[in-house]
Chain A
Amino acid sequence: GEDVEQSLFLSVREGDSSVINCTYTDSSSTYLYWYKQEPGAGLQLLTYIFSNMDMKQDQRLTVLLNKKDKHLSLRIADTQTGDSAIYFCASGYSSASKIIFGSGTRLSIRP
């Protein structure tokens, strides 16, 4: 079946940039999402990108999409302690479809 893969852990120093990577297998994916889950909470949509885009920037967040390699990344500039969370990459191919989630990357921030 379709799959989304991402590494489980990332540790960065406060103030540095964080880059979370993800690969997906469904070449028909239309939408690619990043969700954030803070401790004890549900998932919240952080940002998304359409498959016909290469890049999307939203304040401290930059999403890069390499459709040929089916590789998605999320860069968080000037990482703060409040960015500590689990980040999920996800793909979907129509607005009514299921979304396939990755296993989540736990981002921890070092002082």
Chain B
Amino acid sequence: DVKVTQSSRYLVKRTGEKVFLECVQDMDHENMFWYRQDPGLGLRLIYFSYDVKMKEKGDIPEGYSVSREKKERFSLILESASTNQTSMYLCASSSRGGLGTQYFGPGTRLLVL
């Protein structure tokens, strides 16, 4: 079974803090994605990566950066957390071949005070 894990289920941070969210997948997938999920807005793509050290901006990259130094790990960084970044963050991975099915982690619920 594909497993995607995220470093924390819940996080509480203060405005201005630097926040790291980590995602690890164990299926040797080339593609990895970071989304945020907000009520009524569905999933919005923040950043994605097709390979190690490669990254592409998604629909809402402002205020975020990412790092992919190893194939299995994709990190999302909030350089200076703000209250409007309070959200559920979901990581996903997919294989370059096949159906393009994305496999999701359980999510990190981030609260910025």
- List residues of chain B with CB within 8 A of the CB of A103: 40-42
The secondary-structure label for the interface of chain B is: loop
Expressed in whole angstroms, the minimum distance between the Cβ of B50 and any Cβ of chain A is: 7
Q: Is the CB of B104 within 8 A of A95?
A: no
The secondary-structure label for the interface of chain A is: loop
Q: Is the CB of B101 within 8 A of A98?
A: no
Complex Cα spacing A37 to B16, Å? 31
Q: Is the CB of A88 within 8 A of B106?
A: no
Expressed in whole angstroms, the minimum distance between the Cβ of B112 and any Cβ of chain A is: 20
CB < 8 Å: which of B59, B96, B97, B102 contacts A99? B102
CB < 8 Å: which of A41, A44, A45, A99 contacts B107? A41
CB < 8 Å: which of B40, B96, B101 contacts A33? B101
CB < 8 Å: which of A41, A96, A104 contacts B106? A41
- List residues of chain A with CB within 8 A of the CB of B31: 96
- List residues of chain B with CB within 8 A of the CB of A88: 42-43
Chain A interface extent, by class: 20 to 34
Expressed in whole angstroms, the minimum distance between the Cβ of A68 and any Cβ of chain B is: 23
Query: 1/0 contact trace for A1-22 toward B, CB 8 Å?
Result: 1000000100000000000000
Using known A-B contacts A88-B42, A98-B58, determine if residue A43 contacts B104 with beta carbons closer than 8 Å.
yes
Expressed in whole angstroms, the minimum distance between the Cβ of A34 and any Cβ of chain B is: 11
- Residue A97 is within 8 A (CB to CB) of chain B in the complex: yes
* Smallest CB gap from A43: residue in B: B104
- List residues of chain B with CB within 8 A of the CB of A95: 94-100
- List residues of chain B with CB within 8 A of the CB of A44: 104
- Residue A81 is within 8 A (CB to CB) of chain B in the complex: no
Complex Cα spacing A110 to B30, Å? 42
Q: Name, among A40, A94, A103, the residue most crowded by chain B CB atoms within 10 Å (CB to CB).
A: A103
CB < 8 Å: which of A96, A102, A104 contacts B100? A96
Complex Cα spacing A8 to B42, Å? 10
Complex Cα spacing A48 to B40, Å? 23
Query: 1/0 contact trace for B81-108 toward A, CB 8 Å?
Result: 0000000001010111111111111110
